[in-house]
Amino acid sequence: MRIRATFYLEEETNLPYSLNYPISSYLYQCISQADPALGEWLHNEGLSYQGRSYKPIIFSNLHFEYRRFQSRSMKVKGKVTFQVDSIQPTLIQRLMEGMWKKGCLQLLDIQLPLKEIQLMGTTTFQPEMSYRSLSPIVVPMRLADRLHFCNPLESDFYEQLKKSARNWYWLKWQKELPADVPFRIRLLHPEKFSLKKAAVLTEYKEKKIKGYQVPLWIEAPPDLQQVLMEAGIGSLSSQGFGFLEPMKEVTP
């Protein structure tokens, strides 16, 4: 159950590039305002699988109607939109209630009035689909004593994406993804790929997170394609990473 929220910024304003944390906080606040018990559960517990906690809510980057890039910040104005999704429709329903109650999005010291919440159209999931990423895809791996962020030129990048997707598949459907089903992930148009252009460094609560904003071609059963749309792809999806949007183009 995917929604697009639209806000409006009347005057040109200076904002930092990394806004994941204030958006994440806003979503938790809205859910808590509509349903305090649900908000507390999402913040403190979430879903559990193999000893780990998973927060079933994802969101895209902000899209600004007008944006002027600067070295350390951006000048923005006009309509501001972002999308939210979840494997649990109840979360989105409560979120919408809370967003209308709250009335505005707080970004640092700026308040953006809420103008519209749109329910996105239903996606027909196919065995082969192409996606654009509306936020960076993050694949962290612990190597000895350091944290390494895998990039799309490494095979580990795709193996970890598939591992994460299998976990979310269980959380959504309460069953394991059969080992023999086709499941492949590739770059869409690898000949156009530039590692430097795709790389995005995001600050989240004073931590630097490196991800890659790339289009992907995915072969998978339709019920797994649905999970990738609703749960995101890769790690840290509840912090605003790995948000996918289907494309009309299919062939890799």
In this predicted model, what pLDDT tens digit does every residue of 196-243 receive, in sequence order?
999 999 999 989 999 999 999 999 999 999 999 999 999 999 999 999
Give per-residue pLDDT as tens, 162-177.
999 999 999 999 999 9
pLDDT at residue 106, rounded to an integer:
93
Structure-block tokens of residue 116: 């519209």
- Tell me the CA end-to-end span of the chain in Å, nearest whole number: 27
CATH assignment of 128-246, among 3.40.462.40, 3.30.70.1900, 3.40.1280.10, 3.40.640.10: 3.30.70.1900
Tell me the whole-structure pTM to 2 decimals.
0.95
Structure-block tokens of residue 50: 């193999």
Give per-residue pLDDT as tens, 21-67.
999 999 999 999 999 999 999 999 999 999 999 999 999 999 999 99
Instruction: Give yes or no for a contact between 14 and 91, defined as CB atoms under 8 angstroms apart.
Output: no
Q: Is pLDDT above 90 for 248?
A: no
Instruction: Give yes or no for a contact between 242 and 236, defined as CB atoms under 8 angstroms apart.
Output: yes
What CATH class does 2-119 carry?
A: alpha beta
Hey, where are the domains in the chain? 2-119, 128-246
Residue 151 identity: N
Q: Is pLDDT above 80 for 129?
A: yes
Q: Which residues contact 22 (CB under 8 A, 6 or more apart)?
A: 106, 107, 108
Model confidence at 1, in pLDDT bands (50, 70, 90)? confident
Polymer length in residues for the chain: 252
Average pLDDT over residues 111-125: 95
Kindly list the catalytic residues.
28, 43
pLDDT over 90 percentage in the chain = 93
Q: Tell me what the pLDDT averaged over the chain comes to.
A: 96
Residue with token string 């070295």: 71
Q: Is pLDDT above 70 for 252?
A: no
